[in-house]
Every structure is written in C-alpha cells, then in structure tokens.
Structure 1
Amino acid sequence: MRLLLDTQMLLWALNDDPKLTLQARKAIRDAQDRIVSSVSIWEISIKRSIGKLRIEGDPIRFARAAGCAPLSVTWSHGDIAGALPAHHSDPFDRLLIAQAQSEGLTILTADRAFWQYDVDLI
C-alpha cells in the first residue's frame, strides 16, 4: 500500500501522540511507501508562523528519518482539488484528497470529512 499521511497524522507521529491508534501505527509501519505531501509541510509552517500550532521538532527531518517520500503539488492536483464536491472547505485537505485520487494513494486520516470523497482511506 502507498500511504499518504494527512497533516494531523504526521503531527501525531512526529510527537508520538497517544491519539495515533495502534491501527494507524501498523498502517504506517507496514506501508510499502510512506508519503508526506508538501501540502502538509506548508500547512504546519503556516499554522506555526501564525501561532496556531506549537510543535517540537522539524517535520521535514522527521519525515525523512521515517523513510517518507515527499509529494509535490502539480497543476493536475490543483485542478482536481478545485473540481471536488464541496463536502470540505479546508484547502489543505482538499489538495491531499486530490493528490491521493491522482496518484492512487491511500490516505491515513482521523478526519471524518474525508470519508465523503471517492478516495481510499484508513
């Protein structure tokens, strides 16, 4: 399985948060490919800079150390995100969903809004 961690899952993994379930930990451990989108790094950086997020550690360094591959945003991802049904207004999440659809990825998320989209989820 090619697994795309959403931003919250990346943060929970980074901080070894107990909210990261055993199922999520197993999915991360067993994934053929662990992927972190530039969207998640961007979201973390923005929220950190405006004071909405305080985290320990560097998410890029953590993702690399965990063997995660980066995923950049393409024009196609942007186009798909713009065409998604309006179930969810968060632009970061919409881009993650578009990337997963375009690249054939499974998203690891705790966000119930993702379940309204045609995308593989854990």
Structure 2
Amino acid sequence: MRLLLDTCALLWFVDDADQLSATARQQLADGDNEVFVSVASYWEIVIKYHKGRLELPCEPDEWFSAAVAEDALLDVEAPDITALHRLGSPGEHKDPFDRLLIATASRLDLAIVTSDVRFAPYGVKVVW
C-alpha cells in the first residue's frame, strides 16, 4: 500500500506517540508499504512552530530533515492546486493543508494515514 501521512500522524509517528492507532502503526511498520510525506506538512509544521502552537526539540528545518527521508517527500504540484476546485467548497474540511493532502492523495492514489474523520467524504482511502 502507498501511504501519505497527514501532519499529526507524522508528528505522532516520529515521536512514537500513543495517539497513533494500532492499525496505522502496523501499516507504517509493514516494509511492503511505501510511506510518503507532503511538503504541505512541512509548511504546516513551520507555521505552527513559529506561532508557538507546536513544540519541537529543534528548529523545524532540522526536525523535518531528520524525520523524513528525501525520497519520501512529495512536492505539492500544480495538478494538486488545480484539483482543489474539484473538492468543492471547503464546507466539510476547511484546513488548506489537509485539502492539499486530499488533492495529492487523489492524484497519486495514496491512502492517507489520519485520525481526522473529515477526510472520508472526499473519497480518499483513510488508514486509521
């Protein structure tokens, strides 16, 4: 399976936190699965860190570089941005970072590892 971590799942996975579900933990540990992280999660982490809403043991650049292998990082590409209009109005999910993750997952046929129930109405596969 090809998995895209949402930002919270990434933070919990790196911290080996209890918030990560057993199913998510199992899928992430499965060596047959490919795990990806969107550059949108990097942006979200940097913004939250500098607003004082996220604590990290070091600067976000250093943390992200240590946490995410370069070959696992997915750029937000033009098709993702143009696909946002197909998601409809932000009614169900207003978070722009999550909406970019949904667009990327849809384009690349990835399952999203997330505890956020607001992803499901968009037709992407959710692992939790």
TM-score, normalised by the number of residues in structure 2 = 0.87
Give the drift of 1:56. 2.8
Partner of 1:84: 87
2-side partners of 1:36 and 1:19: how far apart?
18
Given residue 94 of structure 2, which amino acid in structure 1 is its aligned partner? S
Q: CA-to-partner distance for each residue in 1:52-99, whole Å, 9 max, x for gaps?
A: 1112351231122xx861100111000112331231110000000000
**In structure 1, what is the equivalent of residue 51 of structure 2?**
50
- Number of residue pairs matched? 120
The offset of 1:37, in angstroms, is: 0.5
2:64 is equivalent to residue 59 of structure 1? yes
Distance 2:71 2:10 in 1: 10
Match of 2:14? 14
Root mean square deviation of aligned Cα: 1.5
Question: Distance between the aligned counterparts of 2:20 and 2:56, measured in 1?
Answer: 16
Counterpart position of 1:72: 75
Task: Please list every run of 5 or more consecutive structure 2 residues that lacks an aligned counterpart in the other structure.
Answer: none
Name 2:126's counterpart in structure 1.
121
TM-score, length-normalised on structure 1? Answer: 0.91
Identity %: 39
Contact 1:48 1:54 in 2 (8 A): yes
TM-superposed deviation, 1:3: 0.4
> 8 Å contact 1:36–1:68 — kept in the other structure?
no
Confirm or deny: 8 A CA contact 2:27 2:33 kept in the other structure.
no
1:107 corresponds, among 84, 91, 112, to: 112
* Contact preservation (8 Å) 1:39, 1:95: yes
Name the structure 2 match of 1:97.
102
Structure 1 equivalent of residue 36 of structure 2: 35
* Structure 1 residue ranges, 4+ long, deviating more than 3 angstroms after superposition: none
| SS of alignment partner, residue 24 of structure 1 | helix
